[in-house]
Structure 1
Amino acid sequence: MNLIKKRDKPFMTPVSAVADLSLAPDTLPQGILPMQRLAELVATGVVSSDTPFDDDQIQPASIDLRLGARAWRVRASYLPRGRTVTERLPDVVMHEMDLSKGAVFESGCVYIAELQERLDLPRGVTARANPKSSTGRVDVFVRLLSDRGALFDDVVEGYSGPIYVEIAPQTFSVLARTGTRLNQLRLKRGHSPKLYTFDCGVDLTGELVGFRARRHAGIIDLDHIEGHDPRKYWEPLYQNAGQLLLDPGEFYILASKGNVEIPVLEAAEMLPIDPSVGEFRVHYAGFFDPGFGTKEADALGSKGVLEVRCHETPFLLEDGQTVARLVYEPLTERPIKLYGETGSTYQRQGLKLSKHFKPW
């Protein structure tokens, strides 16, 4: 279903045109906006682009963001903090990159890239970004930047301007181009409270319990689906008495002990760092959309895939140990499509690498 009405002109309608949507009043339901409301915001210019939106760009509770034409290799990550993103660039820029024909983002380096989308948020609506699942599973760390912003990934109400993405491949060098989707955006009305949390344990009981990334592997083309031999990039990890020793600096793909379910009127985010569960980072890609793992979407039994990087000291994981926490939030209403209903790589998943790799 195409939710976005096509236009002959770019999607640049001013924010005043959304007054009839009545997004801001406190009397309206508060929470994360579902896909039909996101489509309205795209059609009226709250989320706009100089190029037409793709038909599949709007997900049940998020919008995929696309790389623009330019990126810059920078010496260091930064926050604009009262200045625009490009005003800060001269302090750290090394060289500019043309993404129109594709460019390699090298592991261990930091980049800033333009996004095709821009925001014109009305009063009462904020935005938050996270990496897409496929981005996190190849160990590419991405964060959203907005002009004058003091935080990564969060965009304040009333913000009007361009948005950018910081890209920092950790293990693999990757090939990306204009239009590649690395992160996604949620829009939220009001300040709805968190509903509850879910402790996520790790499953170390199967014959194959995970994968460890190989150092010095080849480049991954982020737009080439099932185009890479997983054995050239990953080392399989097999069951060892329900334990796994994490080595500092290494990157692992593991699976949750239990199934993960996101009710149709809720969305969830996996906390990226929680020092109380161990000295490692879990899950670069934190958004779970409504319908993931649910009976309504014919997906009971879906696991959560865990992207794990150990910090300075080795850490011994045991089967069932809590490694992450999901935080659930309400939607303002049920989305007209649930996660996976129009096709998804990760619905009904078990232990699974990113969509860039052929089946193991």
Structure 2
Amino acid sequence: MVNPGILPDSDIAELFNQGALASERPLDEDQIQPASLDLRLGRVAYRVRASFLPGPKCRVLDKLERLKLHEISLDAGAVLETGCVYIVPLMETLRLPQDVSASANPKSSTGRLDIFTRVITDHGQEFDKIPAGYTGPLYLEVSPRTFPIVVRPGSRLSQIRFRRGNAVLSEEELAQLHERETLVASEQPNISGGGIALSIDLNGGEGGLVGYRAKHHSGVIDVDRKAAYDVRDFWEPIYDYGKRELVLDPDEFYILVSREAVHVPPNHAAEMTPFDPLVGEFRVHYAGFFDPGFGHSAAGGSGSRAVLEVRSHEVPFILEHGQIVGRLVYERMSRAPQKLYGSSLKSNYQGQALKLSKHFR
């Protein structure tokens, strides 16, 4: 009997062996993650007039013929400008079994650079959702919001998870798991709305640093270069001087951190859900996958902070220390992965506190 849940790394590799996943070139050594697969850009990007969904009767390429402004080769590396929308065919294609669906999300480093990405499928009516049994190509919508970026074939901006059935934990199951494993470092966890709440930390760490605000009119960032850029050229540090609050300016981009440390046990995966706009007109953490083993140690759940990408819309908004800014939804793995985030992999953000993307030194 096949267990429902998120497919682990070994099952993702088996999807390739069975032909349910294919790619135009061999997989990178570290492309398969504990509960997801990194998706790679192909050789061309199409600048389009506007974002779109193909709809049930249309392929993506059909819409591109009508909406594309020009075509850009990525072979030698190309700059994608802020404020523009690009559609990039991905190297990976799908032939999913009838009992396997998928969902996609930006990678953590992508979110921390404020690069807005969404996966599109032929005949798709939703972004980032791939129905069970889908056969066809994958495309990535890419829209840099703050920094212009350099990409090339093989650059990885997004990731995909595969699942059988519905394995989301109920509120009762979530409470029981927290009792056993300490999912967030909170004496009285707020479990409601299908998830466990995370709040904002505005106390300030060393020297009162509470976050960073992105600078405008900065240089270009090569998404494939690590520790290559000086923080001061791209970010303005934000300090707290005792007020424990922060005014979010409209359409500015912030990197902040959760008050709670987060723990994802080896047999589970988690995802940050978009925050309810009825509570505040801002969006938090649109790079939302947390892999099995995040914040985990052999002695139990020690936890890692969740770094939050925050943007206010339309109006200024005041965040206060301890204010709820998002919820983590936990799902069961169909079985434990062979490798865990952090312990078995060279994970960039294990044990993190407030931390910018891997591109900055």
> Is 1:93 the equivalent of 2:68?
yes
> Is 1:42 the equivalent of 2:16?
yes
What amino acid sits opposite 1:72 in the alignment?
Y
- Structure 1 residue ranges without an equivalent (≥5): 1-26
Question: RMSD of aligned C-alpha atoms?
Answer: 1.2
Report the alpha carbon displacement of residue 277 of structure 1 after superposing the two structures with TM. 3.4
Q: Show the counterpart of 1:78.
A: 52
Q: Show the counterpart of 2:280.
A: 278
Q: Show the counterpart of 1:123.
A: 98
Q: Show the counterpart of 1:135.
A: 110
Secondary structure at the counterpart of residue 275 of structure 1? coil
What amino acid sits opposite 1:256 in the alignment?
S
Secondary structure at the counterpart of residue 13 of structure 2? helix
Q: Do 2:275 and 2:325's aligned partners in 1 also have CA atoms closer than 8 Å?
A: no
How does 1:232-251 map onto structure 2 within 5 Å?
A: 232-240=233-241, 241-251=243-253
Report the alpha carbon displacement of residue 297 of structure 1 after superposing the two structures with TM. 8.6
Report the alpha carbon displacement of residue 167 of structure 1 after superposing the two structures with TM. 0.2
2:26 pairs with one of 52, 67, 72: 52
Secondary structure at the counterpart of residue 185 of structure 1? strand
Q: Do 2:168 and 2:330's aligned partners in 1 also have CA atoms closer than 8 Å?
A: no
Task: Name the CA distance, whole Å, in 2 between partners of 1:75 and 1:32.
Answer: 36
Structure 1 moving runs of 4+ over 4 Å: none
2:83 pairs with one of 90, 108, 120: 108
Q: Show the counterpart of 1:311.
A: 313
Report the alpha carbon displacement of residue 92 of structure 1 after superposing the two structures with TM. 1.2
Q: Show the counterpart of 1:68.
A: 42
TM (normalized to structure 2)? 0.90
Deviations 1:183-202 (A, max 9, x none): 00000011233444110101
Task: Name the CA distance, whole Å, in 2 between partners of 1:258 and 1:168.
Answer: 31
Deviations 1:160-209 (A, max 9, x none): 11100000111111000000000000000112334441101010112100
How many corresponding residue pairs?
332
Q: Show the counterpart of 1:199.
A: 197
Deviations 1:241-267 (A, max 9, x none): 211110001000000001011111111
Task: Name the CA distance, whole Å, in 2 between partners of 1:356 and 1:224.
Answer: 6
What amino acid sits opposite 1:236 in the alignment?
P
Task: Name the CA distance, whole Å, in 2 between partners of 1:93 and 1:297.
Answer: 53
Report the alpha carbon displacement of residue 298 of structure 1 after superposing the two structures with TM. 8.0
What amino acid sits opposite 1:278 in the alignment?
G
TM (normalized to structure 1)? 0.90
Q: Show the counterpart of 2:3.
A: 29
- Structure 2 residue ranges without an equivalent (≥5): 175-194
Task: Name the CA distance, whole Å, in 1 between partners of 2:226 and 2:355.
Answer: 14
Q: Show the counterpart of 2:225.
A: 224
Task: Name the CA distance, whole Å, in 2 between partners of 1:296 and 1:266.
Answer: 16
Q: Show the counterpart of 1:344.
A: 347
Q: Show the counterpart of 1:357.
A: 360
Q: Show the counterpart of 1:147.
A: 122
Task: Name the CA distance, whole Å, in 1 between partners of 2:21 and 2:308.
Answer: 31
Secondary structure at the counterpart of residue 65 of structure 2? helix
Q: Do 2:265 and 2:301's aligned partners in 1 also have CA atoms closer than 8 Å?
A: no
